[in-house]
Amino acid sequence: MKLEEALRQNGFLLNQDLLNLNYNYLKSGSASIAPLKKSHKVKSANSQKGGAEFVAKPGNPVKQEIPAKILRSRDLYPDHRSILEHAKKFSDIAMIVLSRGGGEGYDLDPADLRPIDSERELVEEVCRQFDKVILILNTVNTMEMGWLSEYPSVKSVLWIGFPGTSGNLALAEILKGACTPSGRLPDLWAADNLSTPAANNFCELQEDGTWSKESFHYRNTPEKKGYFIHYSEGIYVGYRYYETRSETDPDFDYDREVVWSFGYGLSYTTFTQKIRSLRETKKELILTVDVKNAGSMQGKEVVQVYVTAPYTGRIEKSAVRLAGFGKTDRLDPGGSETAEIPVSKYEIASFDEKSGRWILEAGKYTISIRADSHHILDSVVWDLSEDVVFEGTSALFADAHTDSLTREFAPGHRAFTGPKDEDYTAPGDVTEALRFVLPTDEELGIRREDIPVLGKYAGIRFSDLIGVPKEDERWEKFVRQMTLPELCHLCGNGAWQTSPVHRLGVPRTISPDGSTCVASTVFSALVMRKAKSGGTWPCPPVLAATFNTKMADLEGTGVGCEAKAMGYDGWYAPSMNCHRTAFNSRNFEYYSEDGFLSGKIAAHVVKNVQDHKVNVFIKHFALNERETNARDQLFTWCGEQAMREIYFKPFELAVREGGSRGRDELLKLYRSYLGWWEPCPSDGAP
């Protein structure tokens, strides 16, 4: 629903002259307040409803606003007053909406996330006329908003991300005070998006301030092949960098560098939070928090739990990390609720790249509840007398030797300088990988007589294998019943579907794209032979901003119901990469800069979708935080600690707690189709 319609439905009177001026300017660039003869429709890339274009044309995420000269024009009315002077007579409150789009296949330049000239002129003109201005931020990528301090007329700012089909109704209810907002930002908003270390290794910044389309290309590899990217910042991503820098660098001005902290959010009411107790079990710390509504309106409150671990220098640790969260029910003024927030010991452990183990180092752990990542409300200390080592893991990338940032924050480190000159020469294993050619059977030493006989029916139907372990020899016999063309078709024809083998009872499945909608696109509809779409959900960052797993349950249930009603077997979603920087144009598909928050919310979505016997296909595994040349044999270098603690974490939680089975073996792929599935254990073990 358009914002205009949602506001009218909630009883707001809107300035039709301003609407007409906007519509005429959008349609033809004309300065006119005359009503349009036909209803105005904003062009959108509807062909990608589910896949994900939120702009009409890739690379054009910013829309020009009405020029200031039109806003100042004396020619629109017979009395020669400007439209804003007329608007001031209509209402003493003005509302401005700033938007940024997003899509697949390109990234946002730094300037795209700063106000363009026409936007600054719009804000300037409106604030010159009005003392009460509401600013709506219709963007997922964090914009640079430090300039807001220049405009005291802007009394309130509402971040709405991409709110989905009905989200504008919720916005209208908040604006009229019918409900109290209670969300918290899933990302830190920096005054300068280039100030985060990850920005120095995102792409190469050109003299004109845009990213180079040929960023980080090895000099000794073929043209259009062999790009690289370094995650040199290690674990110091998003708030982990800014909070740690604030704690360790006395010259760092946090208030100048950060506009809004991770987890920040305001409400129409006020709350108090106080830690009542901390008790320990074998696997968890249970924090009991008393929450009271000390204000005059009904509302919900988020409890954010952070951990500050002892730092010895043996393993890198950020000054704080989100370790748990919860949300109260609606509390009346004076009402209170006691929340119990579990903090998994495994989740607050750090990954040691040398041993390949998750380790809780001995020492004092400060468990704090915070209004956001920066402001402490209360804290308690948990004293661990000796190291706790979690077995069951090993270093998977011990040979990577990635030079990751440490707390020393040395200005000459790659995290701040970008790649060094020597980084542009590809090592031998990279050039060898680029020369790879699929070997023949002869080169692999496979003889024709070694190839098993195929296509011989053994009397085994697919349904006969329900519950049969994958190690059972009957699986081998079942597969050998297929002919070579059947196997090739089954394995090679997989976009949005799996091919059937009717004679063996293997069904065809179809799965549309996500992650904001269960929807066919112009591409997938041709493959699936089904063109059905559900409603557009609030994008994942908006869901993450609720800090409410119950809302994730509801979305998962809704997606599952829609998919089943439309005859779909699966869903290419959720998307669970992280907001490493503000510049990835697909950030709207991903939940947060924090892997723990992302994973916890995603796990609840996954579980509830699959409860309706619809498989989910979690994506895009992994380290997919850039679109530029991301599909041209990109070599990504990242330390394993950062991989484990940040970038793998959403996928891990979606599998371990959500039970995601969309990437499992063939049997699991079809279990929901046959009406049987086995939930994944969620006992908190690594």
DSSP class of residue 648 equals: S
pLDDT digits (tens, 9 = 90+) for 202-213: 999 999 999 999
Which residues of the chain does CATH 2.60.40.10 include? 271-390
pLDDT digits (tens, 9 = 90+) for 176-197: 999 999 999 999 999 999 999 9
SS3 553: helix
Confidence at 678, pLDDT banded by 50, 70, 90: very low
pLDDT digits (tens, 9 = 90+) for 124-147: 999 999 999 999 999 999 999 999
CB-based contacts of 11-16 (< 8 A; 24+ apart in sequence): 11/176, 12/172, 12/175, 12/176, 13/91, 15/87, 15/90, 15/91
Question: Which runs of consecutive H residues, i.e. helices, occur in 52-116?
Answer: 68-71, 83-90
> Rounded to whole angstroms, how far apart are CA atoms 1 and 177?
20
- pLDDT value at residue 50: 44
pLDDT digits (tens, 9 = 90+) for 352-379: 999 999 999 999 999 999 999 999 999 9
- pLDDT value at residue 451: 81
Return the residue matching tokens 């892997």. 595
- pLDDT value at residue 520: 86
Q: Which residue has the higher pLDDT, 629 or 45?
A: 629
Which residues of the chain does CATH 3.20.20 include? 194-258+402-686
pLDDT digits (tens, 9 = 90+) for 422-462: 999 999 989 999 988 889 988 999 888 888 889 999 999 99
Identify the CA nearest to 412 among candidates 283, 190, 232, 564. 232
pTM: 0.92
> Looking at the domain 271-390, which fold is it?
Immunoglobulin-like (2.60.40)
Top-tier CATH class for 194-258+402-686: alpha beta
pLDDT digits (tens, 9 = 90+) for 253-310: 999 999 999 999 999 999 999 999 999 999 999 999 999 999 999 999 999 999 999 9
Among the ranges given (62-66, 397-401, 407-411, 470-474), the one the predictor scored with the smallest mean pLDDT = 397-401
- pLDDT value at residue 68: 92
Confidence at 70, pLDDT banded by 50, 70, 90: very high
Bridging pattern class, strands 517-519 and 533-536: antiparallel
Q: What is the mean pLDDT of the chain?
A: 91
- pLDDT value at residue 41: 58
- pLDDT value at residue 64: 85
- pLDDT value at residue 436: 86
